Copies of this chain bind each other. A is one copy, B any other.
Amino acid sequence: MPVYKAPVRDMKFVLHEVLQAEHLLAQMPGTQEVNAELINSVLEEAGKVAEHLLAPLNRHGDEQGCQFNGGIVTTPDGFKQAYETFSQGGWIGLAGDPEYGGQGMPKTLAVCFEEMMMAANSSLALYAVLSAGASLAIARHASDELKQAYLPKLYEGTWSATMCLTEAHAGTDLGMIKSRAVPQADGSYLLTGTKIFITGGEHDLTENIIHLVLAKLPDAPAGARGISLFLVPKFLPDANGAPGARNAVSCGSIEHKMGMKGSATCVMNFDGAKSFLVGELNKGLACMFTMMNYERLTIGLQGLGLGDASYQTASSYARDRLQGRAATGAVSPDKPADSLLVHADVRRMLLTMRANTEAARALAAYVGTQLDMVYFHPDEQVRSRAAKLVALLTPIAKAAFTDRGFEACVLGQQVLGGHGYVREWGQEQHVRDARIAQIYEGTNGIQALDLMGRKVVFDREGMLDVLVEDVRAFIASEKDGKVAGFVSVLDEALNVLLQTTTCVRDASAGNPNEVGAASVAYLDLMTLILYGFMWARMVSVATRSLDADANSDIDFYRAKIHVGCFYLDKMMPRYKSVAEEIRAGCDVVMTMDAALF
């Protein structure tokens, strides 16, 4: 019943009209062949894959789920075949290193594709994005030998990959992990330990599974500074590079979860498994962060995509469902009732979902362009500036997209009333699937702490300054234009952000708890302003496009302006009370005795 339509038109708007991505890509060796035509054809093909290959398996994957039987994990019927088709299309290696068989497409484009995949079928998509993320960590940090042996297989999708961090007693606090790797004479290691919550740790989609595992050498320094990263294949490659001897790694069980039932979440046992060091000894966490930062943005896209999928069903249901009459009198007197769209509160829900989804899509592409600059731009200064923005915006993208994506799924369920609570329309599955995105890849609380702590209060590189520079440049260029009203609110909000930042920075010098107490609200404050920034840019472009040519895509631009104004009037003002909440400080949070909780 729910039919997912990939938001290709909106992505073209963001990439071409708002960000002029093709001009940027044309300037950089490595991406200069990615012109507007290629972008569009990839978006359209990607849309077809999401709509016709992934989406049709989404509900079935939820209902059948993964099965565990004696160490073997079976994915839902149809997943294996779809994954093969998908792999053969080259989608797993879309942004992969061309030297090892990747397609070398820019992140700007991969971001769009990942949103579609996640919207269409998060469970199935997750196997693919983990392979892509692990490939990135291998491409950056592994030896040439490991790259040769593993990257082509991962890009072609015949092998897949996992990230193994969490242990039963060590989630956020990875310094406490107990997994041990013992060096062997041949330069390899024997790894022993148990990891939990391992997505895709075992399954039947690919002929081999490559685990990236955090562990410590017996003599490693205590805490996080003693963590190393290892590559542990399920089957050791034989002389021809094909899966050979079975390694000492096995799946102990899978989790019964709220959602994401087509994605196998495994307990993985390593019993002296042959392992290969990736990157330097004791620098494992930094190497893993290459993958984690990639995955964080991608997980943000899961929230964004599911929120959009929920919006699509909710808006189409609201249009067709006849219930009640407009407050101002019947709009369809010939019908037994008016469409739900006549009711202000139904509109409020839909507009809220859409305002957050479209702002997030623009912000995701903005982060994508910055990531491409970091990797491809010839100018060191540009690269360094972009790296700061990426560092600042990654935790925001992960947490804000998933918090607001979950909220959108809840609203999209509410629009359908009781029909949203039953399985039939798929809205309740979106809520269950979206919920994990606020938790995994570092909880959203951890993202907020990363933002407020490392990226703002303790940052010495001026990450926030770079963002402020970009926002101010936009404000300056538009302050006398058609979106002047919008821009003046943005300017005011930016000043409040800066005052609030100073306030927390000063207070935290006296009490380090100020950072933790403010962090989630601070991320929310930044998001309200960043989404305002994105909306101001989009409304500005849409206004100009309407002026320039009243006949082209009028409806698209008009809707853009409507939703932007809704955001400005109804959603953005909340930044003021969020700032007030932050300024209330940490004492009221910290003084209650632990025993009283």
A residues contacting B by CB (< 8 A) are 166, 169-173, 176, 196-197, 255-258, 265, 315, 318-319, 322-324, 327-328, 336-337, 339, 341-351, 406, 410, 413-414, 417-424, 428, 431-432, 435-436, 438-440, 443-445, 448-449, 511-513, 515-517, 519-520, 555, 558-559, 562-563, 565-566, 569-571, 573-577, 580-581, 584-586, 588-597
Q: Are A439 and B414 in contact (CB under 8 A)?
A: yes
Residues on B with C-beta less than 8 A from A594 are: 319, 339, 341-342
| Closest-CB distance, A385 to chain B (whole angstroms) | 30
Contact of A256 among B256, B351, B423, B575 (CB under 8 A): B423
Knowing A345-B449, A562-B591, A589-B348 touch, does A327 contact B421 (C-beta < 8 A)? no
Nearest Cβ on chain B to A141's Cβ, whole angstroms: 25
Most buried by B among A350, A519, A575, A597: A597
Contacts of A591 in B (CB 8 A): 562
Taking A169-B322, A257-B422, A570-B584 as known contacts, 4 extra A-B pairs with beta carbons closer than 8 A to each other, sorted by chain A number, are: A327-B515, A421-B435, A555-B596, A574-B581
> A517-B345, A569-B584, A594-B341 in contact; A440/B423 too (CB < 8 A)?
no
Taking a contact as CB atoms under 8 Å apart, the answer to whether B414 and A173 are in contact is no
Residues of B within 8 A of A436 (CB): 421
Provide the bound-state CA to CA distance between A449 and B576, in Å: 27
Check B324 against A445 for contact (C-beta < 8 Å): no
Contact A348 B597 (CB under 8 A): no
Taking the closest CB of chain B, its distance from the CB of A511, in whole angstroms, is 7
Q: What are 14 A-B residue pairs whose CB atoms fall within 8 Å in the complex?
A: A256-B422, A265-B422, A315-B597, A344-B516, A345-B520, A351-B589, A413-B439, A414-B438, A414-B444, A421-B435, A562-B596, A566-B588, A570-B588, A571-B581
Oligomeric state, in copies: 2
A594 vs B519: C-alpha distance in the bound complex, in angstroms? 39
Asked if B348 and A517 sit within 8 Å, CB to CB, the answer is: yes
Tell me which residues across on chain B come within 8 A of A445, comparing CB atoms. 345-346, 349, 414
Query: Chain B nearest CB: distance from A456 CB in Å?
Result: 15
Q: Which residues of B contact A519 (CB under 8 A)?
A: 344-345
- B341 near A597 with CB under 8 A, answer yes
For residue A427, give the distance in angstroms from its CB to the closest CB of chain B: 9
Q: Which residue of B lies closest to A560 (CB)?
A: B596
- Is the pair B443, A417 in contact by a Cβ cutoff of 8 Å? yes
Complex: A328 Cα to B517 Cα, angstroms:
13
Q: Which residues of B contact A328 (CB under 8 A)?
A: 511-513
A157 CB to nearest B CB, Å: 27
Min CB distance A432 to B, Å, is 7
CB of A343 within 8 A of CB of B516, answer yes
Knowing A516-B327, A596-B559 are in contact, say whether A171-B348 is a contact too (CB < 8 A).
no
| In the complex, chain B residues whose CB is within 8 Å of the CB of A424 | 256
Closest to A569 in B: B584
Q: Choose one: B172, B258, B435; the contact of A324 (CB below 8 Å).
A: B172
Q: B513 near A327 (CB under 8 angstroms)?
A: yes
Give the residue of B342, B418, B597 whose beta carbon is less than 8 angstroms from that of A319: B597
Q: Decide: B197 and A592 in contact? CB cutoff 8 A.
A: no
In the bound assembly, the distance between CA atoms of A219 and B255 in angstroms comes to 58
Bound Cα distance A440, B413 (Å) = 12
CB atoms of A323 and B172 under 8 A apart: yes
Task: Knowing A517-B345, A597-B315 are in contact, say whether A581-B592 is a contact too (CB < 8 A).
Answer: no
**Could you say which residues of chain B place their CB within 8 Å of the CB of A257?**
421-423, 428
Cβ contact of A577, chosen from B421, B520, B577, cutoff 8 A: B577
Residues of B with C-beta under 8 A to A327: 512-513, 515-516
Residue of B nearest to A328 (CB): B512
Residues of B contacting A348 with CB < 8 Å? 517, 520, 589
Please state if A414 and B443 are interface contacts (CB–CB under 8 Å). yes
Complex Cα distance A315/B571, Å?
32
Cβ of A418: which chain B residues have Cβ within 8 Å of it? 166, 171, 196-197, 439-440
Whole-angstrom distance between the alpha carbons of A519 and B347 in the complex? 12
Task: Please tell me if the beta carbons of B511 and A417 are within 8 angstroms of each other in the complex.
Answer: no
> Could you tell me the distance in whole angstroms from the C-beta of A442 to the nearest C-beta in chain B?
10
> Which residues of B are found within 8 Å of A422, using beta-carbon distances?
255-258, 265
Per CB-CB distance, the 7 closest pairs between chain A and chain B, nearest first, are A344-B516, A327-B512, A258-B428, A344-B517, A562-B592, A559-B596, A577-B577
